[in-house]
Every structure is written in structure tokens, then in C-alpha cells.
Amino acid sequence: MISYKLLREIMPVTEEENRIIRGGSIERDLYMSGGSDVINSKLLLEKGKLISVRPHTRFADFPEHSHDFIEVVYMCLGSTTHIINGKEVLLSEGELLFQHLMNCTDSISYANEEDELVVKFLRYIDDNYRDASLSEAAKLLFCDSSWLSREIKKRTGKNYTDLIRERRLAQAVFYLKNTNMKISQIVPAIGYDNVSYFYRIFFEAYNMTPKQLRGANKDKF
């Protein structure tokens, strides 16, 4: 059985996955170079290392590719469908897929219904962070709010409140870096009505005040 500690490490949504949730796609330059369809080990391995353990990118179909290294995929939760040399392979929870992919191609499709609902929920938060609610999201997705809350926690490692706070703070950072809006204007614009609370959670998240972040950003130009 996979350990709780490992799950805590791999479940949080990464920056790349957040971009995908907001409508982006797999960034090929993170994995491949020179327009190639071969995933380059030098882009994934730390200097001097021969082995890397990392979570696979979720929430998007991964384009057809091959590797210049051996890949071992372990399915911690849920399932994924791999297309290997044109043959469909379903990898379920607890299973291993051992591949020497220098001579075969692979693509991944996430067809799990629960994954799809969570992605839709995350997109709902992205669009409605100012006044989003778990109950409204559940109604829009035709599911029970308690079930949705559990699935969110299980699949992202964060609860509803955490995700809302992160999205609101991300928007605050955008305003601080790209506009001249006052803090008193930013706070209600992102969905909060308590300036003191905003300052506290902002400092907890970024270890600096909004004013310091804005000043640091200006110093770069």
C-alpha cells in the first residue's frame, strides 16, 4: 500500500497543472527539445543523477512521444489509459507499467470520470473565485457537495478553502504586479472584505507584505 507521506508529496497540484486547468496544454519544452517527440532525460534528471522520481502531469492528454530512457509508471490512485505503439493499455491503481520507450511511442488519455469532475471544479474556481461556493459547484456538476469535497482533497491534497485562498491570492499578486490598484481596492476585487485578514494570509503565503511584493516587482524594471 502506498504511504500517506508519499501521497502528500505527489498529490498537490503543480504550477504546470494549474496552467493546464486554466486552459493551457502540456508544455513540450519542459520535456522535449528542438521540436523532437523524444522526451529528453537531461531535462528531467538533476545533474549527476541517473534516477528521478516524479509525479506524472495530470489533467491533460499527454501527446504521443518516446523516451531516451527507461520509464516505470506506478499508478498511485485512479487509472490512466496509455496508447503504446497503437495498443491501448489501462493502468489501474497499484499497477506498474515498465517501458523501454526508445523504440515505442506512448500517449496518455485521462478518461476517469472523477478526475474529469475535479478538473471542471478547478476550472469553476478559476472563473468564479470571487464568489465561488462548494454547494453551487456541486449543483453545476450534478454531484453531492460532501462527495465533491472529499474528491477534491483526495486528488489535489488540498481542501476547498485552500484552493479558493490560493486562487484569490494569485489574483492579488497579478493586480499588484500589473496594475496600480490600491490594496483597499484589491481586497474586495478578489472576494475578501477584511483587509487585516488579507494581509495575514498574504504574508503567510509569500513571506512578504503586498507592498513589499509590489516594490520587488518594480525593482526588476
> What integer best gives the mean pLDDT of the chain?
80
Residues making up the chain, counted from first to last: 221
Edge-to-edge, what's the strand order for the sheet holding 38-39?
38-39, 62-67, 106-109, 79-84, 87-92
Q: How confident is the model at residue 34 (pLDDT cuts 50, 70, 90)?
A: confident
Q: What is the CATH number of the domain that holds 107?
A: 2.60.120
Q: What is the CATH number of the domain that holds 166?
A: 1.10.10.60
Find the Cα–Cα–Cα–Cα dihedral 168, 170, 174, 180, rounded to 10°.
Answer: 50
The DSSP H or E segment spanning 88 is strand 87-92
pLDDT at 221: 39
Nearest to 90 by CA among 122, 105, 112: 112
Clarify whether residues 145 and 208 are in a common domain. Answer: yes
pLDDT at 101: 43
Q: What share of the chain is helix, strand, coil (3-state, %, to 5)?
A: 50, 15, 35
Q: How confident is the model at residue 102 (pLDDT cuts 50, 70, 90)?
A: very low
Clarify whether residues 194 and 156 are in a common domain. Answer: yes
Rounded Cα distance between 147 and 145, Å, is 5
Q: How confident is the model at residue 99 (pLDDT cuts 50, 70, 90)?
A: low
Q: pLDDT for 47-76, tens place per residue?
A: 656 667 778 887 777 888 887 776 778 777
Domain span at residue 119 reads 114-219
pTM for the model: 0.53
Q: pLDDT for 180-204, tens place per residue?
A: 999 999 999 999 999 999 999 999 9
In the predicted model, is pLDDT for residue 93 greater than 80?
no
pLDDT at 121: 85
